[in-house]
Chain A
């Protein structure tokens, strides 16, 4: 324990910004990972892939520093500590799966014998050992994902960066890979997994980093993030036949901060209430009880704060997709 405390963080982003011309892709990102599985979630264009590419030294920060165990991620030595599974689906298509992984092992600097041994070991681990002799162009999406994962694990890296590793995997294969990720985490590896599959990610870990517009909007366990969200009031539109009566009931709830009766909103005028509430989760529980108790005729319920809605969508399930 003391030894690990003395070591620099496995992955550390320090006030990192990245510009692509006039586009700000990452904005003052600070992130520290030491072990376990961290899910990286965010909408398309939020900066997830840029962050992952910086972590394995493909991109250089415009400002700030990215380091792996204290070594600058841009330095080639840092890549000995990092395994990267990209989201793109491009291989040396003429090679077999086994041949591809073996070449990757050779490019890690292993001898031929060691490369063969490691190739067989990782193919076994991703369940491809008996299917690895066909050329890659004939593989299904799931098999290609497994081969990508195999090459990332070749040099037994401390940090595994996986960009959409579950994409295209069938449910059984997905379960196998989730178990594999958990096993790797149990062995002390650190996994940073970017995924749109939030339901699968929730099964894997409760530690997430949420990205929005190039920033880390929140990082921590799901509970910690929910607690943070409690401080952000949420505006909710409630369409009811008698808005004044409902407003009186709502104002009696402890988490309601304000109620606006029949504001100018799109839709039928005079039949809605906009309520501003803190602690959205608790408010919805109280509101549900209120509806049941007073048999309210709620015709429409819509959160109006889109950014809060998006974050709630991530954390409370929603569609399960960003």
Chain B
């Protein structure tokens, strides 16, 4: 083996750390593809959410005029029509002189006390008619209905469902699995014993998981927007940069959890449902610790810049500026990745726990 021994330096020189790192990025990406069970679970969750949004959209939930005003009442459009002065007077006449063949509404059965015309006091009657004509003006305004629909869609589907549920869960599933799945199967030892710096292993695993986080995070967003009708399509165009940046920040966070904890999914779920869901909705400055708050702020500002009535988003009254939100999300991504790489380079790898 003298030949073998003498060729040791040649052998070593043929090994390239950069090449090994690139191979690890590719291998990490492929491992996610091979672990299909997780992908199927994520897809099933996404399918449930998409179907739910599609059903709501189909029922016209994003159009205020078609929504029921209150229990036992008609839609807002029907209510607005009923409150027009002519219809109120007609109903009032039917109360005074009931006609059996008149429609139910015209017989005055649904006329509230404040809706009853008062011809004996024309000033008060005019003012009351003016106020009660507002719903009609609103339901006849295409601009208002479109803006209300978009903001309502943004509030419930984008802010609550996507940012609060779909995006964190999908990024958690893939980012935490970069280390978590291999640690669980105890196969991480094969990577840890290769001649690659530990910080580079951390980074390679992150880059390998990132396309999957983007695919399922942003893919989920596209799917939710695709079934949201015109409002969904507009939300996609306006919010995708914020969704992409949030996906990146969540991926960095959950990758770090995957490297540090033996049960990263449990820790991640606790974070998503107790920290992100609760803390980001709390008044005060505690929400500044939540990543989703900054993603929502970006979306809020985007909608506000486009002239939408963002006051309808009550939880976002204290949104930070877009510049701040971009800076915080970007910095968090970099800081979490750098901190993760540094920590991972220092901790022992134990597969016997």
Contact = CB atoms under 8 A, between A and B. Distances in A.
Contacts of B187: 90-92
B37 to A, nearest CB: 12
A111 interface: yes
B35 to A, nearest CB: 9
Interface string A111-128: 100100000000000000
Contact of A156 (B4, B195, B346): B4
Nearest to A114: B14
Interface string A70-96: 000000110110101010101110100
A318 interface: no
A188 B190 CA distance: 25
A108 B192 contact: no
B189 A90 contact: yes
Contacts of B15: 80, 108-110, 155
B350 to A, nearest CB: 7
Contacts of A79: 193-195
Interface residues of A, number: 36
Interface in B7-65: 7-8, 11-12, 14-20, 23-24, 27, 31, 34
A91 B190 CA distance: 8
Given A60-B348, A86-B189, A90-B187, A108 B27 contact: no
Contacts of A144: none
Instruction: Give the interface SS of chain B, mostly helix, strand, loop or mixed.
Output: helix
Interface stretch (A99-107, A260-268, A300-308): A99-107
A28 to B, nearest CB: 19
B352 interface: yes
Interface string B110-148: 000000000000000000000000000000000000000
Contact of B352 (A49, A106, A188): A49
A145 interface: no
A132 to B, nearest CB: 16
Interface string A180-191: 000000111100
22 contacts: A56-B193, A57-B193, A58-B189, A58-B349, A59-B349, A76-B196, A76-B200, A86-B189, A90-B186, A92-B187, A104-B190, A104-B194, A106-B19, A107-B24, A109-B14, A109-B196, A110-B14, A110-B15, A155-B15, A156-B8, A156-B11, A186-B1
Interface of B: 1-2, 4-5, 7-8, 11-12, 14-20, 23-24, 27, 31, 34, 185-187, 189-198, 200, 346, 348-352
Interface of A: 49, 53, 56-60, 76-77, 79-80, 82, 84, 86, 88, 90-92, 94, 103-104, 106-111, 114, 151, 155-156, 158, 186-189
